[in-house]
C-alpha cells in the first residue's frame, strides 16, 4: 500500500473486511480499536508505513457500519450520513465509541502523514477536518491542520488554527505550536513587506510616468 493512500483507495476493487467476517457491531468496533493500538505501536517504532496500514484497516471495519446504515436509509428513502454518527442498529454508547475510534484513526493518520517524505498536506488537512467536524476543540487536530496549512502557504489560516490550539492548551503549551506560530508570523511579515515593495514600485513608476 502506498504511503498516505486514502481510505477509499484501499477498499476499491476489494471486499470490505467486515463483510467477509460477518462480525457483530461490538466486534467491529473492538477490532477497529485493536488496529488503532497496533498502529500506535508501529508509530512509536517509527514504522509509519505499517502504522498507516493499521489505521486504514481500522477505518475499514468502521466503514462497514456506515455502509450498513446507508443501505437501510436507501431502502426507506432516507438520506445517508457520511460521518457514521447515526448508524442504524447502534446503541448510543456504541455510536459514541465508534465515533471516538474513528476520530482517533483520522487524527493518527494525519500524524503519520506529517512524518513521511513529501507529505500530502491536502490529505492531512482533510483528515484533520474529519476530526474537527466532530471534535472542534481537538488540540492535536488543530495543531496538525495548522502545520499542514503552513506548508501550503496558507499562513493566515495556519496562524488562526494554531492560535486556537494554543488557547485550548490547559497545561504546558507544545513548543512546536509556538515554533509554527513564530514561523507564520515571519512568513506573514515577509509577504506583507513584499506587497508593500510591489505597491511602492508601482507608485514610483506612476510618478515617473506622470512627470514625463
Q: pLDDT tens digit string along 55-110?
A: 999 999 998 776 555 544 445 444 444 444 445 567 889 999 999 999 999 999 99
Contact 68/50 with Cβ under 8 angstroms? no
Question: From CA 138, how far away is CA 125, in angstroms rounded?
Answer: 14
Neighbours of 73 (CB within 10 A): 16
Tell me whether residue 57 is in a domain: yes
CATH number of the domain at 39, please.
1.25.40.10
Q: pLDDT tens digit string along 156-198?
A: 999 999 999 999 998 888 899 999 999 999 999 997 887 776 6
User: What are the backbone angles phi and psi of residue 114, rounded to the nearest 5°?
Assistant: -70, -15
**Range of the structural domain that residue 111 is part of:** 7-211
Question: From CA 83, how far away is CA 96, in angstroms rounded?
Answer: 12
Tell me whether residue 104 is in a domain: yes
Number of domains in the chain: 1
Amino acid at each position: 500500500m502506498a504511503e498516505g493512500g486514502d481510505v477509499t483507495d484501499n477498499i476499491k476493487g476489494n471486499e470490505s473486511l467486515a463483510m467477509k467476517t460477518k462480525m457483530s457491531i461490538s466486534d467491529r468496533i473492538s477490532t477497529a480499536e485493536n488496529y488503532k493500538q497496533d498502529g500506535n505501536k508501529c508509530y512509536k517504532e517509527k514504522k509509519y508505513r505499517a502504522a498507516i496500514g493499521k489505521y486504514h484497516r481500522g477505518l475499514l471495519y468502521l466503514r462497514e457500519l456506515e455502509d450498513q446504515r446507508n443501505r437501510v436509509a436507501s431502502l426507506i428513502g432516507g438520506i445517508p450520513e457520511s460521518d457514521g454518527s447515526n448508524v442504524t442498529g447502534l446503541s448510543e454508547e456504541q455510536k459514541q465509541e465508534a465515533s471516538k475510534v474513528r476520530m482517533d484513526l483520522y487524527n493518527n493518520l494525519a500524524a503519520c502523514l506529517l512524518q513521511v517524505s513529501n507529505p500530502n498536506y491536502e490529505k492531512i488537512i482533510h483528515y484533520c477536518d474529519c476530526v474537527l467536524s466532530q471534535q472542534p476543540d481537538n488540540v492535536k487536530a488543530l495543531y496538525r491542520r495548522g502545520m499542514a496549512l503552513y506548508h501550503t502557504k496558507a499562513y493566515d489560516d495556519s496562524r488562526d488554527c494554531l492560535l486556537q490550539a494554543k488557547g485550548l492548551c490547559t497545561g504546558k503549551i507544545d513548543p512546536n505550536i509556538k515554533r509554527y506560530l513564530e514561523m507564520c508570523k515571519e512568513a506573514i511579515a515577509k509577504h506583507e513587506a513584499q506587497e508593500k515593495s510591489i505597491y511602492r514600485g508601482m507608485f514610483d513608476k506612476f510618478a515617473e510616468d506622470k512627470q514625463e
